Amino acid sequence: MNENNLITKDNEQVIAFFKSLDRMLTGIENMTQDCRPMLNGERYLTDKEVSERLKLGRRTLQDYRTEGRIPYCQLGGKILYRESDIQRMLDENYRGAFR
């Protein structure tokens, strides 16, 4: 590199570097958006999150709670599900192929 060249914000490499930083920041923000700290080693999900993951309606989840098919915690009017309970329920109801 020539000693007389001054690198400015309009330099092609500087622009590429900052674009790269912007892409990394966007990626980190996307990864951490749904990240929640654990409470006593457990993650808790809302009914919206569970219904999206299981492809069930929120009304169906309510029916499952009423029927005692799915464990949950209720704090005031807020319903929360332990992620491990959801996984256990899926594992217990898994049916393998029989062919």
Q: What is the pLDDT of residue 61?
A: 93
What H or E segment, with its residue span, contains residue 78? strand 78-82
Q: What is the pLDDT of residue 3?
A: 65
Question: Which residues form the domain of 57?
Answer: 44-92
What's the CATH number where 57 sits? 1.10.10
In a domain, 26, yes or no: no
pTM over 0.75: no
CA dihedral 23→26→27→30, nearest 10 degrees, is -160
In a domain, 65, yes or no: yes
Number of domains composing the chain: 1
Q: What is the pLDDT of residues 58-80, one digit of tens each?
A: 999 999 999 999 999 999 989 99
